[in-house]
Amino acid sequence: MWGRGTAARLLPIPKHTPNRFTFGCRFSILSMYTFLSRSWKLSRRLRLGLLASSLLLPEGTWAHGMEASFRAIPTFQIEARYDSGEPMGGAQVTVFAPTDPTTPWQEGQTDKAGQFLLQPDPELPGLWQVRIRQAGHGVLLNVPVGSEAESTSAAGVAAGSRNSSLGLLQRGFMAACVIWGCLGTALFFSRPHLHAKTSQPEELTTPALEQD
């Protein structure tokens, strides 16, 4: 109750699944080949030619061919508010990339809810910094991107994160499993060989893979 403290935090954003338009085109040609092969009695040479064209046709063969693709890039939803809970709507936002901390990489402003979507360049991993200012109040938010972000949670909790992805207990358990597996296998093969067979062993069979 001494003034207007500010706070900013990261909110999680759902990830997208990458896809490629060209893969879809190639799959369509192969589907057409299958359909034609079954529907019409095409000559074997024609069918092989169609198959080869679909498989070997390089990208960009068509004079006016187009390609559209997309990839998932990290997006961070930033929310800025005062201590009272009032959102910092329309606040000035300045983004700094880790490669140049003095030149703004992006400038914008928060929406009415005090939120701002940050889409940093994934080719510039490191600590991105977002400065949010309004009416003499400011806050600086540190956003880890890339390899640095892997050791932190999506909610922006960076402090206290461990460098290793596996804990000591997990490592010990894994090592014990490996040792037990190797020793067990070694003991199995080194047991005394029985020449006298009291009974005919059952044939070992492998499960047959189902064929389409």
Partner 1 sequence: MGFGLDRTCRDPRRGIVLVLVFLLGSLLGGCRPTPDATPNRRAEKPQATSAPAAQTEVGTLEIWANGEEFIREGFVSKDGWTLSFDEVYVTLADITAYQTDPPFDPESDQALQAQAQAGLPGPITVNLVTTPEERALLGSVEAPFGHYNALSWRMVPAVTGPAAGYSLWLKGTAQPQGGSEGDDLTFVLRFDQELAFTCGEYIGEERKGFVRSGQGADLEATFHFDHLFGDGELPPEDGLNQGALGFAPLAALATDAGSLEVDWADLREQLSSAEAEQVLEILRHLGHVGEGHCREIAADS
List residues binding partner 1 (CB under 8 A).
1-7, 82-84, 86, 96, 98-99, 101-102, 124-127, 129, 131, 133, 136-140, 142, 147-148, 158-159, 163, 171, 174-175, 178-179, 182-183, 185-186, 189-190, 193
* Residue partners of 97: CB distance under 8 A and separation at least 6: 105, 120, 121, 124, 126, 128
Q: Answer for the pair 110, 86: CB distance below 8 angstroms, yes or no.
A: no
- How far apart, in whole angstroms, are the C-alpha atoms of residue 81 and residue 89? 8
Cβ at position 139, least distance to partner 1 in Å: 7
Cβ at position 68, least distance to partner 1 in Å: 31
Among residues 109, 124, 121, the alpha carbon closest in space to that of 78 is found at 109
Nearer to partner 1, 18 or 122 (CB): 122
Cβ at position 111, least distance to partner 1 in Å: 20
Q: Answer for the pair 104, 97: CB distance below 8 angstroms, yes or no.
A: no
Cβ at position 13, least distance to partner 1 in Å: 22
Among residues 34, 46, 29, 106, the alpha carbon closest in space to that of 75 is found at 106
Q: How many residues does the chain have?
A: 212
H-only helix segments in the chain? 21-39, 44-56, 147-150, 168-189
Nearer to partner 1, 68 or 187 (CB): 187
Cβ at position 102, least distance to partner 1 in Å: 6
Nearer to partner 1, 47 or 137 (CB): 137
Count CB-CB contacts under 10 A for residue 108: 14
Nearer to partner 1, 57 or 155 (CB): 155
Nearer to partner 1, 1 or 56 (CB): 1
